[in-house]
Amino acid sequence: MNNLILPIVLAICLMGCSSDVTDYRNTSPKLDIKTYFSGKFVGWGIINKYDNKVTRRFCVEIIGTWQGNSGLLDETFYFLDGEVSKRVWQLNLEANGKYSGQADDVIGIAKGQQVGMAFNWQYELDVTIDNDVIRFSMDDWMYKLDDDRVMNKTAMNKYGIAVADITLFFDKSIQQCSNR
């Protein structure tokens, strides 16, 4: 029985490992964060619990503005259950496609890098659930599909254990949520 424990633990750990953003070096179309996240556009998303059950659906309106290598992403989330929430990201482009960012509910500094069609963004996020604030580790991956669309997949972890996934689909050709 003990001979089975180590392989099972290793398999679980490997499933939680993300790929390296540099794996996307030779992919296209190139995702340029400053260019794509400029102006007004919309995204739609779902939140899946660890058992893959969809627990929430939402639309987010985003307004991105940049001055040089500093940007603001003003996000307004409209959840189907009626909740409306905001997040304002302050972003900074550093060297070699690397970004840092901050928001009120983000703990410390978010770090990310864009390479080819992909962007990987990692940060700690405080989320209020039933009047309790819970801190999650976020591993956020974006993939540019074409000039208007980006797919986003985020793993939410607590103590290294996957608790939820967020899937988002951004479309620059649409500027307002229809469900607000």
**pTM (2 decimals)?**
0.86
Question: Is residue 134, in this structure, part of any structural domain at all?
Answer: yes
Can you say whether residue 125 is alpha, beta or left, with left for phi > 0 and alpha for psi between -120 and 50 degrees?
Answer: beta
Question: Is the pLDDT score of 98 beyond 60?
Answer: yes
Question: Is residue 5, in this structure, part of any structural domain at all?
Answer: no
Task: Give the Å distances, CA to CA, from 72 to 34, 40, 101.
Answer: 10, 12, 9
Q: Give pLDDT, residue 180.
A: 67
Question: Is residue 14, in this structure, part of any structural domain at all?
Answer: no
pLDDT digits (tens, 9 = 90+) for 108-163: 999 999 999 999 999 999 998 889 999 999 999 999 999 999 999 999 999 999 99
The domain of 150 spans 21-171
Question: Is residue 159, in this structure, part of any structural domain at all?
Answer: yes
Q: How many structural domains are present in the chain?
A: 1
Q: Give pLDDT, residue 128.
A: 87
Question: Is residue 8, in this structure, part of any structural domain at all?
Answer: no
Question: Is the pLDDT score of 14 beyond 60?
Answer: no
Question: Is residue 106, in this structure, part of any structural domain at all?
Answer: yes
CATH of the domain at 151: 2.40.128.20
Question: Is residue 88, in this structure, part of any structural domain at all?
Answer: yes
